[in-house]
Structure 1
Amino acid sequence: MADLNYKPVRHDHAAFIAKAKQRAGFTDAYDELELEYALASQMLTARSKAGLTQDAVAERMGTTKSAISRLESAGRHAPSLATLKKYASAVGCDLQVKLVPHKSS
């Protein structure tokens, strides 16, 4: 059986974003994917807190590690609510979805 103990890799996200912002067009592209990045970040955080690898989550969901990798990649895949519910359950979370009215200018 595969080693299912999760060992997080250190990543300085703030430094990564600061460097990336120097590239032309990055800020506009990043802003367009803000919701996707927020969701991906929450998924990675939940999996990390659960101490699970992508393999372990895939096993719990009855799918493959590559499918979990796609789910956790912002902007590359638009998962269904059913899939997000399965992921949430696999990492010991509940899924909440809400609509928030636009702020008046």
Structure 2
Amino acid sequence: MPELKFKPVRHNHKEFLAKAAKRQGFVEEYDALAVEYQVANQMLTARARAGLTQDAVAERMGTTKSAISRLESAGKHAPSLATLKKYAQAVGCELQVRLVPHKSA
């Protein structure tokens, strides 16, 4: 794994979710954004694996750090497939999209 060029902020997501789940309506809203959170998590993981900062990804994509920040924040922005493809290329990945049938009961 390449050495990271930035220092990630320590975050215990399980603790955060346990505390947040106590707030009224949180669980329903969080569950409604499950796919967005999965995509954001994959983006952050890919960027970290590539050892890149948001500034570096922005430069590779020809955009701004604030645009990358919006892309990586679940639920606040719905990026196009073209934008996701550019992001994937910038962090050394390829974008794959799948439609998975619901499991029948």
What TM-score do you get using the length of structure 1 for normalisation?
Answer: 0.94
2:17 equivalent in structure 1: 17
| Structure 1 Cα separation of the partners of residues 7 and 50 of structure 2 | 11
1:88 equivalent in structure 2: 88
Segments ≥4 residues shifted beyond 3 Å: none
Deviation string, structure 1 residues 52-73 (Cα, Å, up to 9, x no partner): 1100000000000000000000
Number of positions where the alignment pairs a residue of Structure 1 with one of Structure 2: 102
Deviation string, structure 1 residues 20-78 (Cα, Å, up to 9, x no partner): 00000000000000000000000001101111110000000000000000000001001
**Structure 2 portions without partners, runs of 5+:** none
Would you say 1:28 and 2:23 are equivalent positions? no
Percent identity between the aligned chains?
75
1:43 equivalent in structure 2: 43
* C-alpha deviation, 1:15, in angstroms: 0.5
| Structure 1 Cα separation of the partners of residues 67 and 37 of structure 2 | 17
Would you say 1:5 and 2:5 are equivalent positions? yes
Give, as a single letter, the amino acid of the residue that structure 2 aligns with 1:10.
Answer: R
| Structure 2 Cα separation of the partners of residues 61 and 19 of structure 1 | 36
**Structure 1 portions without partners, runs of 5+:** none
* C-alpha deviation, 1:9, in angstroms: 1.2
2:62 equivalent in structure 1: 62
What TM-score do you get using the length of structure 2 for normalisation?
Answer: 0.94
Would you say 1:97 and 2:90 are equivalent positions? no
Q: Secondary structure at 1:29's aligned position in 2?
A: helix
* C-alpha deviation, 1:6, in angstroms: 1.8
* C-alpha deviation, 1:5, in angstroms: 2.3
